[in-house]
A and B are shown apart, each in its own frame.
Chain A
């Protein structure tokens, strides 16, 4: 979008003249939609930043294009803001809307006769602001994507705790979709914990896994073999009926791997196999 320098200067001068009412009303309208998620001071500062970016785009040495080389600085400020909004959990439309609001404000000022702006100049304002809004939207989306990627990474780490259940017995409760990357992480962690704790039993609990396909099964089978090589036994627990039927239909064979329907049974098996006797006291009361 190439705009002529004169119109740009007129619009820029208009904004300078009416800066105070524009920023004030802009902040008021924005505050309504953002409802208390930002303090008034913060919001005012951010609106001023957007206002500043708008002026920079219209500035003397700029070509009036947000994507243009000259508007690097205003682009930087806008990008900074949209990143902040994305991280604060604003929706995409709130983010773009915050920028678009200036049109509403200027229109209000001219319609009420408080300010005067030729229609062509208003159109120019509209074009520039649309550009800025789109740019904000794009940065927002990119930021959200990277936030989600970060969270996925973190979840990968978080959701795979290897816990010690007893001396010599460790367990990993798997929850959620086991893709290859995650299965890899889990299994490596489990084997490492076996080494670190010198445990003889590892329980892989799949109660929280919605589907076991051949890839997941292959990861489990590999882990079992690796654990065996290290002198440890793996027990798979939490195989729910629908998973059992699916695994059988697929033709996956768990061979001589011990499987238990729940984690408690798996622990009991491991305890017994390691020589721990679990007995229920005849009468609890007498102990006290």
Chain B
């Protein structure tokens, strides 16, 4: 994987932080010249994942920044928490599955909104999700 350039580290400890992450991602997406539809998709995915970090992961942080793969620019966001982790990934990625009171579409939906989606998690070991959207 390519490296995050000048990553910004943003805490995720309350509702307002989720909004801040979203705004930071939008600014970077604009700078990377992502088309409007892709900006909106990435911002929405970031919103879902940041909220999961907050609600299910008990808070954590995000790392956001640009990436380049030689030909194209892209935007990458990582969401990190040290919460309970996800024991059954298949279940968690099932549309409509929730252990809370949400719609259960955040994980599965955000995977559909981005170009690359990587998840590292285990029961009791926290969760790290990395998503990337490339400019066309």
Q: By the criterion CB–CB under 8 Å, are A250 and B19 in contact? A: no
If A177-B22, A246-B44, A250-B44 touch, whether A214 touches B37 (CB-CB below 8 Å) is no
Complex Cα gap A64–B110 (Å): 58
Which residues of chain A come closer than 8 Å to B109, judged between CB atoms?
Answer: 214, 249-252
Q: How many A-B residue pairs have CB under 8 A?
A: 69
Interface SS, A side: helix
CA distance A285 to B113 in the complex (A): 53
Distance, CA A252 to CA B43, complexed state (A): 16
Chain B hits for A246, CB < 8 A: 37, 40-41, 44, 113
How far is the CB of B77 from the nearest CB of chain A, in Å? 14
Check B103–A252 contact: CB distance below 8 A: yes
Q: Which residues of B sit under 8 angstroms from A250, Cβ to Cβ?
A: 44, 48, 105, 109-110, 112-113
Most buried by B among A212, A213, A245: A213
> Is A218 part of the binding interface, using a Cβ–Cβ cutoff of 8 Å?
yes
B37 touches A211 (CB 8 A): no
Known A179-B18, A211-B43, A217-B103; contact A249-B26, beta-carbon cutoff 8 A: no
Instruction: Identify which of A179, A214, A251 contacts B15 (C-beta below 8 A).
Output: A179
B102 within 8 A of A: yes
A181 to B15, CA, bound (A): 9
Alpha-carbon separation in the docked complex, A240 to B95 (Å) = 24
Contact A211 B103 (CB under 8 A): no
Whether A242 lies near B37 (C-beta < 8 A) is yes
Complex Cα distance, B41 from A212, in Å, reads 10
What distance in Å separates the Cβ of B76 from its nearest Cβ neighbour in chain A? 18
B47 CB-CB contact with A under 8 Å:
yes
B130 within 8 A of A: no
**Chain B interface category by residue count:** 20 to 34
For residue A231, CB closer than 8 A to chain B, the reply is no
Size class of A's contact patch?
20 to 34
Whether A214 touches B41, Cβ cut-off 8 Å, given contacts A181-B15, A246-B113, A251-B95, is no
A128 contacts B by Cβ under 8 Å: no
Interface check B91, CB cutoff 8 A: no
- Known interface pairs A210-B40, A214-B48, A245-B41; A252-B105 also in contact (CB < 8 Å): yes
Assess whether A5 is interfacial by the CB under 8 Å rule.
no
Closest 3 CB pairs of A and B: A250-B109, A242-B40, A213-B47
| Sample of 30 A–B contacts (CB below 8 Å) | A177-B19, A177-B23, A179-B18, A179-B19, A181-B15, A210-B40, A211-B22, A211-B47, A212-B44, A213-B51, A214-B48, A214-B102, A214-B103, A214-B105, A215-B47, A218-B103, A242-B37, A242-B39, A242-B40, A242-B41, A243-B40, A245-B40, A245-B41, A246-B113, A249-B113, A250-B110, A250-B113, A251-B105, A251-B108, A251-B112
B→A interface (CB under 8 Å):
15-16, 18-19, 22-23, 26, 36-37, 39-41, 43-44, 47-48, 51, 95, 102-103, 105-106, 108-110, 112-113
